[in-house]
A and B are shown apart, each in its own frame.
Chain A
Amino acid sequence: MSSGGVRFTVLQRSLHWLMAACILAMFFIGVGMVSTVMPKYIPLLATHKTLGMAILVLALIRLVVRLRYGAPRLPADLPEPMKLAAHLSHYALYALMIAMPLIGWAMMSASAYPIVLYGGIHLPAILPQSDAVRTILWNAHHYLAFAFFALVLLHLAAALFHALVRRDGVFQSMAPGPSHDKVAAAE
């Protein structure tokens, strides 16, 4: 799925950086809230749920946009293993962006917890109460969160590698701000 352009569209780049901020915040809110008994626990939990639902909506929009507009081709001289790693990690990132909020929502449902977001928004339960299902979902949410964070670190390292070491235009294809087509033209 390649558009042949040198950069992602403005919409794609905006979604990417907005979601980068949201997802990074989610990791920190998540591990922070489960390790505290302080009063901030309550707003952290409410933020985690609200932001999670926002990420789910943004991820679904982003998936549609990606299918519609595609992505710039990877540099022809990128070694095959790196190309494969790039493709697989992006599939995994999309899967986690969509799965994690759904698992969280389902976990709350299976716990018979009321699901209240900021602004008093109530979400319906999507599963009946079940200890066994809740436990599976809790474990999935917990372990996938660490896998997701590791993947984001890898993604960050790879982006910086493209930007600072290879300087092959891959980072610029997603970089914020106006076009720097001179850089990409080096392809």
Chain B
Amino acid sequence: MSGPSPSPPRPPFASLALIAVIVAVVAGAFAYTAGWLSPGRLTPTKIVEAFAPPTGPALGHRRNHAKGICFTGQFEANGNGAALSRAQVFAAGQYPAIGRFNLGTPDPNAPDATVRVRGMGLQISTPDGQVWRTAMIDAPFFPVSTPKAFYGLLEASHSKDPDAMKSFIAANPEFAAFGEWAKNAPWTASYAEEPYNGLNAFLFVDGSGAEHAVRWSLRPQAPIVPITPEDLTKLGPDHLDQEITDRVAKEPQRWTLVVTVADPGDPTSDPSKAWPEGRKTVEVGTLVVQQIQAERDGPCRDINFDPTFLPNGITVSDDPFPAARSSAYARSYALRTAEVQYYPYHQQTAAGTQP
């Protein structure tokens, strides 16, 4: 190795060993940072994999909320939100919106009546070049308090151990409230009759730089007509998609965007804890859904509704979920965009081209 050297000769072994140690330390620190030495670390890959059914994920689709349909419309801001946030989206005016009604399932072919949680992904764009993306569900609070507990829930729900869910609930008592909601909240036969709740706490930053902890919800303006899951089953496995398509074709559908402002001391870091009644709420505008498009060629299919894509005037709070969702959504997005040739999953399977 050593060529002729102008320096006095000395054994190169110590120098070579030192070089090897320095390189190994840098490489080792890199491996540690990458998580290769920490098999216990909760990674986005683990969370995304934990959604998959035993038969494997539906290739080309979102790893959760896989069944959905696109819409376009606009958000009509009434200007009331401008006192809470300087984001242009709250200045009175009309802003284009793209979104997606969906079911909280990793199976894009799940019959509607088998899925309890419904959701909406939404993107509102403003002329200043900013976008606000949010992904909401119809439940009024999240099932668990932490991303780690959420991973535990996914694991328990797939576990072959018959006591897995019991142990999970014992360790995560906050889940009971969600269980009550799932059991007792009315089902509806329409995406248009659902509320969609942001659940996570964010900070609105106003014109003076002051921060306000908030959560937001879309409240349906359509009258709510409860239906039993049995009757929904009779309407067909894809009733929700057909119904919203027909309904919007007749008339645009509207939701009121309501911002709830936390009182001092309200928990912002735990989306499983609803804030007490009586908090200040501000109706900041109306979402108008004007057109429905099939997901296949729809404008929403290739959008990652990452809840951390926020305009100037909204930031994340100490709620740990938006970061966890962002990293998991990024992983899911990387997977499904790489699998686009398998979309839609069902038809590819039927054609026998599924590897």
Contact = CB atoms under 8 A, between A and B. Distances in A.
Interface stretch (A9-17, A58-66, A88-96, A158-166): A158-166
A41 B327 contact: yes
Nearest to B22: A160
A138 interface: yes
B109 to A, nearest CB: 21
A28 B33 contact: yes
B229 interface: no
Interface extent on A, as a size class?
35 or more
A165 B15 CA distance: 6
Interface in A24-49: 24, 27-28, 31-42, 45
Interface in A142-181: 149, 153, 156-157, 160-161, 164-168
B66 interface: no
Interface in A129-147: 129, 131-132, 134-135, 138
Contact of A114 (B35, B130, B324): B130
A68 interface: no
A166 B330 CA distance: 47
A42 B308 contact: yes
Contacts of B3: 77-79, 166
B326 A42 contact: yes
Nearest to A40: B323
B328 A153 contact: no
A186 interface: yes
Nearest to A153: B23
Nearest to A38: B323
A122 interface: yes
B309 A113 contact: yes
> Which of B22, B327, B330 is packed against the most chain A CB atoms within 10 Å?
B327
Given A42-B308, A111-B333, A164 B23 contact: no
Interface stretch (B5-13, B166-174, B250-258, B344-352): B5-13
B96 interface: no
Given A153-B27, A160-B19, A112 B326 contact: no
A153 B30 CA distance: 11
Contacts of A165: 1-2, 5, 12, 15-16, 19
Nearest to A33: B327
A37 B324 contact: yes
Contacts of B304: 111-113
Binding site of A, secondary structure by majority: helix, strand, loop or mixed?
helix
Nearest to A79: B3
B316 interface: yes
B334 interface: yes
A129 B44 contact: no
A164 B18 contact: yes
Nearest to B333: A111
Contacts of B337: 111, 131, 134-135, 138
A146 B318 CA distance: 33
Given A113-B309, A131-B337, A32 B320 contact: no
B249 interface: no
B8 to A, nearest CB: 9
Contact of B312 (A77, A120, A131): A120
Contacts of A32: 33-34
Contact of A31 (B1, B26, B33, B338): B33
Nearest to B318: A39
B152 interface: no
A35 B22 contact: no
Interface of B: 1-7, 12, 15-16, 18-19, 22-23, 26-27, 29-30, 33-35, 41-45, 47, 129-131, 147, 302-304, 306, 308-309, 312, 316, 318, 320, 322-324, 326-328, 330, 333-334, 337-338, 340
29 contacts: A28-B30, A32-B34, A36-B41, A36-B43, A37-B42, A37-B327, A38-B320, A38-B323, A40-B323, A41-B327, A42-B308, A112-B303, A113-B309, A122-B129, A131-B337, A131-B338, A131-B340, A135-B338, A153-B23, A153-B27, A156-B26, A160-B18, A164-B19, A165-B1, A166-B2, A166-B5, A167-B6, A168-B6, A187-B6
User: Closest 3 CB pairs between A and B?
Assistant: A31-B34, A35-B35, A164-B15
